[in-house]
Amino acid sequence: MAHADDGRGYEHDLGLVEAALFLSSQALTRHKLARILGGASLAYVDRILDELGKEFSSITHGIELHVEEGKAILQVKRPYVDLVAHLAPHQDISRPVLRSLAMIAYNHPMTQADLVKARGNKAYKHVQELLDRRLIRAEEQSRTLLLHVTEEFLRYFGLSNVEEFRFHVGELPPEEPEEEDKEGESLQEVDDG
pLDDT at 125: 95
Number of other residues whose CB lies within 10 A of the CB of residue 81:
16
pTM of the predicted model as reported, rounded to 2 decimal places: 0.48
Domains assigned to the chain: 10-83 (1.10.10.10), 89-180 (1.10.10.10)
pLDDT at 88: 67
Which segments of the chain have a pLDDT < 70? Answer: 1-8, 25, 86, 88-92, 168-193
pLDDT at 179: 36
pLDDT at 139: 95
Sheet of strand 144-149, all strands in order from the earlier edge strand to the far edge = 110-111, 144-149, 136-141
pLDDT at 23: 82
In terms of phi and psi (left: phi > 0; alpha: psi -120 to 50; beta: otherwise), the region of 16 is alpha
